[in-house]
């Protein structure tokens, strides 16, 4: 349920603001009462965390704006992120490390670390000064690397399982199509369904490519597209049951103008009926009184 990792900071940016309630805000947020330098690790972690309330700053920075502690959480996962120097008296951004404490389900912790490493594009556990880093964290470089890689591998395995689950779903539907076709709605086309399944399988291949590039977002998007194609192929779903080779708009557009006969619905009038021929003379002849209200208030 818990992991404690340490990461090497390379950049101190971006600068963030602290509001009156001790919440972390963007630099352009109005009415702030302080600021801190979040650093590249903290910035990437907040971006990868997902939907969350503004993080709470539990240790307000003093003279050094790169020494702080913040907490970010959602209903499942809580992360306490701390920044402190471990060499060089904090004169440079690389003098700092981040302590990352995570409490929550293993799959969420693993996914967060997988996304964090992908976003950083480097190995966060590789320290600027290995000896000082090990002393400050009270853990060896090898042990720290093992902890990080264990979570990364778990995150990768979860994504592989998701890809294989969608692929198996597509294959199972492909095998059932001949039987399902017997009760399919009128207009449903098995050839179209097979094409949709092939596209879904291609999307699974694209998800594998995205996984190779450590892009979890790319994996999720490809799998979402694959799921949509599977729904289109399945005659048991409402979308497929109403499918008839094209959308309603496309079918309407295909109707020839010559096929439409409005002769019985169009009323043609050569002249207006007599009762509506009321010009100014007719009004005058009817002795309709004229009332001038232009001067009334």
Q: Are residues 171 and 55 in the same domain?
A: no
Q: Is the pLDDT of residue 292 over 60?
A: no
pLDDT digits (tens, 9 = 90+) for 188-231: 899 999 999 999 999 999 999 999 999 999 999 999 999 999 99
Q: Are residues 135 and 8 in the same domain?
A: yes
Is residue 294 included in any domain, yes or no? no
pLDDT digits (tens, 9 = 90+) for 101-115: 999 999 999 999 999
Q: Are residues 133 and 83 in the same domain?
A: yes
Q: Are residues 164 and 135 in the same domain?
A: no
Q: Are residues 164 and 199 in the same domain?
A: yes
Q: Look over the chain and give the mean of its residue pLDDT values, rounded to a whole number.
A: 85
Is residue 279 included in any domain, yes or no? no
Categorize the per-residue pLDDT at 29 as very low, low, confident or very high, splitting at 50, 70 and 90.
confident
Closest CA to 142 of 130, 155, 129, 128: 130
Structural domain harbouring 55: 2-139
Q: Is the pLDDT of residue 120 over 50?
A: yes
Is residue 145 included in any domain, yes or no? no
Asked if 28 and 44 count as a contact pair (C-beta separation under 8 A), the reply is no
Q: Is the pLDDT of residue 272 over 80?
A: no
Mutual angle of helices 216-233 and 141-180, in 10-degree steps = 10
Is residue 89 included in any domain, yes or no? yes
Q: Is the pLDDT of residue 279 over 80?
A: no
Q: Is the pLDDT of residue 262 over 50?
A: no
pTM over 0.85: no
Bigger pLDDT: 234 vs 252 = 234
**pLDDT of the residue at 291:** 56
Q: Are residues 24 and 128 in the same domain?
A: yes
Q: Are residues 135 and 169 in the same domain?
A: no
Is residue 278 included in any domain, yes or no? no
How many domains is the chain partitioned into structurally? Answer: 2
**pLDDT of the residue at 265:** 45
Q: Are residues 167 and 120 in the same domain?
A: no
Q: Are residues 135 and 223 in the same domain?
A: no
**pLDDT of the residue at 249:** 37
Q: Are residues 166 and 132 in the same domain?
A: no
Is residue 239 included in any domain, yes or no? yes
For residues 281-292, give the mean pLDDT.
54
Q: Are residues 84 and 210 in the same domain?
A: no
Q: Pairing relation of β-strands 24-25 and 34-37?
A: unpaired
């Amino acid at each position: 349920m818990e992991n404690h990792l340490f990461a090497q900071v390379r950049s101190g940016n971006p600068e963030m603001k602290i509001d009156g309630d001790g919440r972390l805000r963007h630099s352009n947020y109005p009415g702030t009462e302080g600021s801190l330098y979040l650093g590249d690790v903290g910035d990437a972690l907040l971006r990868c965390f997902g939907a969350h309330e503004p993080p709470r700053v539990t240790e307000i920075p003093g003279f050094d704006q790169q020494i702080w502690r913040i907490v970010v959480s959602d209903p499942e996962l809580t992360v306490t992120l701390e920044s402190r120097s471990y060499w060089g008296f904090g004169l440079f951004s690389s003098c700092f490390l981040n302590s990352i404490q995570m409490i929550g389900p293993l799959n969420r912790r693993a996914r967060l670390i997988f996304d964090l490493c992908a976003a950083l594009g480097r190995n966060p556990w590789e320290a600027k000064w290995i000896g000082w880093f090990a002393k400050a964290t009270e853990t060896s470089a090898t042990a720290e690397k093992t902890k990080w890689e264990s979570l990364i591998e778990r995150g990768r395995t979860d994504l592989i399982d998701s890809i294989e689950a969608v692929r198996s779903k597509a294959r199972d539907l492909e095998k059932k199509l001949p039987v399902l076709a017997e009760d399919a709605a009128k207009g449903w086309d098995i050839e179209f369904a097979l094409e949709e399944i092939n596209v879904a399988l291609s999307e699974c291949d694209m998800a594998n490519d995205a996984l190779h590039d450590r892009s979890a977002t790319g994996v999720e998007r490809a799998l979402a597209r694959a799921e949509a194609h599977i729904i289109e192929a399945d005659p048991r779903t409402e979308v497929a049951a109403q499918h008839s080779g094209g959308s309603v708009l496309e079918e309407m557009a295909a109707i020839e103008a010559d096929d439409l006969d409005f002769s019985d619905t169009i009323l043609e009038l050569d002249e207006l009926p007599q009762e509506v021929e009321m010009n100014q003379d007719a009004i005058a002849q009817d002795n309709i009184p004229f009332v001038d209200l232009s001067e009334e208030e």
